[in-house]
A = this chain, B = another copy of it.
Amino acid sequence: MTTTAIPDPLRRRARTHGDDVALEFEGDVLTFAELDRRATACDQLLRQRGLGSGDAVATLLHNRPELVAIAHGGPRGGRRFAPLGARLTAPEVAAMLKTCAAKVVFCEAATRDVVVEATRGLAMDCIDVDEIATANEIAAESEDRDFDLHDTHTIVFTSGTSGAPKGVRLTWGNHLYSAMASALNLGLDAGDRWLCCLPLNHVGGLSILMRSVLYGNAVELHRRFAPGDANAAIRARRTTIVSVVANMLQRMLDDDERPYPECLRAVLVGGGPVPAMLLERCRAAGVPVLHTYGLTETASQVATARPGRDDAGVGPPLLFADIRIDNGGDDAGVGIAGDIEVRGPTVSPGYVGEPDHPASGWLRTRDRGWLDERGCLHVLGRADETIVCGGENVHPAEIERVLESHPAVAEAFAAGVPDQDWGAVIHAAVRLTGEVSPAELETHCRAHLAGFKVPRRLLPVDDFPRTAAGKIARREARELLYTASNRDVR
């Protein structure tokens, strides 16, 4: 039996590459040694609070260095790091904290009120991130600890099929194999500098941090995405790799049309479909764009186009990932569409509070696609009704449940309507039983849903198209929303 423990890579980097830049944030530069000290301070703070192996550490923070320190120090000693989106509402946060059974949640000034409200009645410590700095002063060097590859390291929330967000358990092994597979595709260079302007509660942002401590490369972290800031990072501070969703890249190109410097070697575009026009525009402008397909459940990339190869679709599966197209129980042949399934060591063992996936089993992705004769994957879209809006996954059930919780709403239906900028935007139709203004319904939504989930349009209907059994005929209802949105345009 080979050991499955790996030395803590940040601690190791701090020792062997202590003076190298680990993180740059708003002009402040942290070396690996300094980042390790902060992670150690966080670890000690959590130990003082009595958190041990298996306990979850949640955060409700915008991107900031303290969040990076918690991402590395939080999971030490077998704890689990559970970053939540800083834009979520108190009811959303409360549901997630309960799901992952968090013992503590870190907040900041901007999120304190939401956390206080969300944790009301819950036995949960709410810690201001500034306390890490205080702990820092008293922190002695803690002993080295290993990460076991099979231990859950992170819990990342994603939209579930029922509309209740699910906590994806990612092991240190999942992160490690994901980082390795990415490097085997993109190459590794000591001078690499990865721009992270995705939120760190998303696997796309989080995986940049994991790669950084494994590769030893610098990360420039942005509090939030702004096209001008991203362009400045690339032009002035020699970014070599950046991860974005299509809408972000579009806005970056709109912001500044000048060619990027040569040092930019990969622009990974994922989190949903990429318009062919955008890919064309990138190619024409010499932007080294690489379309990628990934999932929270696979700790990021599954398939990624290869540098310099002009791959079709999202490229071939990365080295450790097996992809199968399921066509009604059979393995679909080349060129035949079906449900995308994934297998390999980057696949999460399961969701918090649910039984593990079978280790040798295939993960059903809820995406449809096909493989071409060169082995490249083409993604057609979601197999279910999940709406992909600017890289965020939202399930209609979540919106519908909130709308139907309003006393004046008898029934609700939500769907994504195609949108040039965001891929899709959320529209909803409501059958009302009482008097309610659109503004009042919107306020109700805003109290329960993060801003990006609030329907852009609310269409009152007298009734819905129905199935023989009397349920909403969802395909026809979606058509109804599409038609209404087209009418607006004309």
Contact = CB atoms under 8 A, between A and B. Distances in A.
Interface stretch (A39-47, A59-67, A342-350): A342-350
Contact of A3 (B4, B16, B180, B359): B359
A482 interface: no
Contacts of A5: 344-345, 360
Contacts of A2: 149-150, 171, 173-174, 345, 347, 349, 359
B190 A187 contact: yes
A307 B190 contact: yes
Nearest to A343: B3
A360 B1 CA distance: 9
Task: Say whether chain A's binding surface is mostly helix, strand, loop, or mixed.
Answer: loop
Interface string A181-195: 001100111100000
B356 A16 contact: no
A259 interface: no
Nearest to A311: B16
A403 to B, nearest CB: 39
Interface in A423-479: none
A214 interface: yes
Contacts of A7: 319-322, 344
A458 B2 CA distance: 43
A283 interface: no
Contact of A316 (B16, B149, B171, B359): B16
A479 to B, nearest CB: 40
A52 interface: no
Given A2-B171, A6-B344, A15-B316, 8 more contacts: A1-B356, A3-B345, A16-B317, A16-B374, A187-B188, A188-B188, A189-B189, A190-B308
